[in-house]
Amino acid sequence: MISGHCTDVPRNANIATLRDGYLFPEISKLELEHTRKYPQEKLIRLGIGDTTEPIPGIITSAMAEHVHALSTVEGYRGYGAEQGNMELREAIAQTYYKDLGIKGSQIFISDGAQSDISRIQMLMGSEVTMAVQDPSFPAYIDTGVIIGQGGKFMGETGKYENIVYMSCRPENNFFPNLGDTPRTDVIFFCSPNNPTGSAASREQLEQLVEFARRNGSIIVYDSAYAAYITDGSPKSIFEIPGAREVAIEVSSFSKFAGFTGIRLGWTVVPAELLYSNGFPVAKDFNRVICTCFNGASSIAQAGGLACLSAEGYTALNAVIDFYKENAKIILDTFAWLGFKVYGGKNAPYIWVQFPGLRSWDVVAEILEKAHIITVPGSGFGPGGEEFIRISAFGRKECILEASRRLKALFRCNASA
Amino acid sequence: IAKRKAEHMLKYPDAQVISLGIGDTTEPIPQVITSAMAKRAHGLSTVDGYSGYGAEQGEKSLRAKIASTYYSNVEIGEDDIFVSDGAKSDIARLQVLFGCGVTMAVQDTSYPAYVDSSVIMGQTRLYQEGFGYGKIEYMKCTPENGFFPDLSSVSRTDVIFFCSPNNPTGAAATRDQLTRLVQFAKDNGSIIVYDSAYAMYISDDKPRSIFEIPGAKEVAIEVASFSKYAGFTGVRLGWTVVPKELQFSDGFPVAKDFNRIVCTCFNGASNIAQSGGLACLSPEGRQAMQEVVGFYKENAKIIVETFTSLGFHVYGGDNAPYVWVHFPGQKSWDVFSKILANTHVVTTPGSGFGPGGEGFVRVSAFGQRANVLEACRRFKEWYM
Nearest to A20 by CA among B74, B335, B264: B264
Of B52, B100, B190, the CB nearest to A126: B100
Coil, helix or strand at residue B83: strand
The B136-140 sheet, strands edge to edge: B81-84, B238-241, B220-225, B191-195, B159-163, B104-108, B136-140
User: Per residue in B93-111, pLDDT tens?
Assistant: 999 999 999 999 999 999 9
The 3-state secondary structure of chain A, one letter per residue: CCCCCCCCCCCCHHHHCCCCCCHHHHHHHHHHHHHHHCCCCCCEECCCCCCCCCCCHHHHHHHHHHHHHCCCCCCCCCCCCCCCCHHHHHHHHHHHCCCCCCCHHHEEEECCHHHHHHHHHHHHCCCCCEEEEECCCHHHHHHHHHHCCCCCEECCCCEECCEEEEECCHHHCCCCCHHHCCCCCEEEEECCCCCCCCCCCHHHHHHHHHHHHHHCCEEEEECCCHHHCCCCCCCCHHHCCCHHHCEEEEEECHHHHCCCCCCCEEEECCCCCECCCCCEHHHHHHHHHHHHCCCCCHHHHHHHHHHCCHHHHHHHHHHHHHHHHHHHHHHHHHHHCCCEEEECCCCCEEEEECCCCCHHHHHHHHHHHHCEECEEHHHHCHHHCCEEEEECCCCHHHHHHHHHHHHHHHHHHCCC
Angstrom CA distances, B200 to A67, B85, B207, stand at 24, 19, 10
Would the CB atoms of B253 and A292 count as touching at under 8 Å? no
- Residues A90, A252, A360: CA angle, nearest 5 degrees: 170
Q: Tell me the nearest-neighbour CA distance from B321 into chain A, angstroms.
A: 15
Inter-residue contact A224 to A194 (CB < 8 Å): yes
Would the CB atoms of B189 and A79 count as touching at under 8 Å? no
Q: Which residue from B minimizes the CA distance to A257?
A: B52
Please check whether residue B47 touches A, CB under 8 A: yes
DSSP B194: E
The partner residues of A349 in beta bridges, in order of sequence, read A391
Q: Give the residue-averaged pLDDT of B358-376.
A: 98
Inter-residue contact B184 to B216 (CB < 8 Å): no
- What is this model's ipTM? 0.96
Whether the per-residue pLDDT at A416 is higher than 60: the answer is: no
User: Per residue in A176-208, pLDDT tens?
Assistant: 999 999 999 999 999 999 999 999 999 999 999
Listed in sequence order, the residues at least 6 apart from A243 whose beta carbon sits closer than 8 Å to its beta carbon are A205, A209, A219, A237
Of A15, A139, A288, the CB nearest to B257: A15
Q: Give the residue-averaged pLDDT of B326-349.
A: 97
Would the CB atoms of A294 and B117 count as touching at under 8 Å? no
Nearest to A399 by CA among A346, A348, A327: A327
Report pLDDT for A411: 87
Give the A window 125-164 contacts with B, CB below 8 Å.
125-126, 138-139, 142-143, 146-148
User: Per residue in A55-77, pLDDT tens?
Assistant: 999 999 999 999 999 999 999 99
DSSP letter string, B252-310:
-BHHHHHHHHHHHH---S-HHHHHHHHHHTSHHHHHHHHHHHHHHHHHHHHHHHHHHHT
Write down the mean pLDDT value for chain B.
96
- The Cα–Cα gap between A175 and A169 comes to 7
Give the A window 23-42 contacts with B, CB below 8 Å.
24-25
Of B52, B86, B270, the CB nearest to A51: B52
Coil, helix or strand at residue B235: coil
Q: Give the residue-averaged pLDDT of B285-310.
A: 98
Please check whether residue B295 touches A, CB under 8 A: no
Amino acid present at B12: Y
Of B24, B188, B266, the CB nearest to A114: B266
Q: Alpha carbon B46 to chain centroid distance?
A: 37
Backbone angles phi, psi at A159, to 5 degrees: -125, 160
Confidence of residue A414 (pLDDT cuts 50, 70, 90): low
Q: Which residue from A minimizes the CA distance to B266?
A: A115
Q: Alpha carbon A273 to chain centroid distance?
A: 23
State the helix-helix crossing angle for B332-343 and B369-383, rounded to 10 degrees: 100
- The Cα–Cα gap between B209 and B206 comes to 9
On chain B, the residues whose CB falls within 8 A of the CB of A53 are 50
Which tops the pLDDT comparison, B14 or B192?
Answer: B192
Whether the per-residue pLDDT at A1 is higher than 70: the answer is: no
Please check whether residue A310 touches B, CB under 8 A: no
The A375-376 sheet, strands edge to edge: A340-343, A349-353, A387-391, A375-376
User: Per residue in B136-151, pLDDT tens?
Assistant: 999 999 999 999 999 9
Please check whether residue B331 touches A, CB under 8 A: no
User: Per residue in A229-245, pLDDT tens?
Assistant: 999 999 999 999 999 99
Confidence of residue A412 (pLDDT cuts 50, 70, 90): low
Of B52, B89, B233, the CB nearest to A292: B89
Q: Tell me the nearest-neighbour CA distance from A112 into chain B, angstroms.
A: 8
User: Per residue in B113-136, pLDDT tens?
Assistant: 999 999 999 998 777 777 778 789
Inter-residue contact B322 to B336 (CB < 8 Å): no
User: Per residue in B53-66, pLDDT tens?
Assistant: 999 999 999 999 99
Give the B window 69-108 contacts with A, CB below 8 Å.
85-86, 88-89, 91-92, 96-102
Report pLDDT for B158: 98
Please check whether residue A3 touches B, CB under 8 A: no
- The Cα–Cα gap between A307 and A91 comes to 10
Would the CB atoms of B42 and A61 count as touching at under 8 Å? yes
Report pLDDT for A63: 98
Write down the mean pLDDT value for chain A.
96
On chain B, the residues whose CB falls within 8 A of the CB of A263 are 85, 267-271
The partner residues of A189 in beta bridges, in order of sequence, read A221
Whether the per-residue pLDDT at B366 is higher than 90: the answer is: yes
Confidence of residue A413 (pLDDT cuts 50, 70, 90): low
User: Per residue in A261-288, pLDDT tens?
Assistant: 999 999 999 999 999 999 999 999 999 9
In the Cβ-directed half-sphere of A32, how many Cα atoms lie within 13 Å? 6
Global pTM reads: 0.96
Length of chain B, in residues? 384
Give the B window 136-195 contacts with A, CB below 8 Å.
158-159, 185-186, 188-191
- The Cα–Cα gap between B296 and A250 comes to 39
Give the A window 330-349 contacts with B, CB below 8 Å.
none
Coil, helix or strand at residue B139: strand
Confidence of residue A343 (pLDDT cuts 50, 70, 90): very high
Amino acid present at B55: A
Would the CB atoms of B24 and A118 count as touching at under 8 Å? no
Inter-residue contact B229 to B289 (CB < 8 Å): yes
The partner residues of B81 in beta bridges, in order of sequence, read B241
